Structure 1
Amino acid sequence: MQVIGGKWKPMIIYNLLSGTKRFNELQRLSGNPSARVLTLQLRELEDDKIIKRHVFDQIPPRVEYSLTTKGKSLNNILEMMAIWGKEQR
């Protein structure tokens, strides 16, 4: 729970399950956390080897985020959490 706990991390992981995303797209899809909060959450997920960050050597800089194999393995857990949440409504 420490790795995926919090308000934004489950949303970030869920949005990356469908494929690679750029920062602004992740921010929009995840409910518009501030840029600072999203950056911190992405760094923590990267440190925990849940996501990988790919920086393209171009101007302007382009960065894409995607799930690692470890990150993809969280799919079932997120699905179960979503089912539980719907049942509690």
Structure 2
Amino acid sequence: MLEVTIDDLRRLLGSSLPEPVLVLTGGRMEVENAAAETAGASDVITRADLRARLDGEEATDHELKLIAATLTTGVVQRGG
């Protein structure tokens, strides 16, 4: 089963891209610039949205695990 992992979210948070977004493309999670709009890619979450969910707090593994589980559910429900 395809899932969003803590590592995926940490890569998104640490990205050097100006407007990074975690996308599902080719059966895997990738971090891309929001402007890239890769054909067939499905947005999962932007860094700005992830930071908003963290509410300005430090990203702990526990918080990221909960967010990853919620995002995984959304991906599965969309048929990802």
Normalised to the residue count of structure 2, the TM-score between the two structures is 0.39
Normalised to the residue count of structure 1, the TM-score between the two structures is 0.36
Structure with more strand by fraction: 2
Structure with more helix by fraction: 1
The one of the two structures with greater contact order (alpha-carbon pairs below 8 A, sep at least 6) is 2
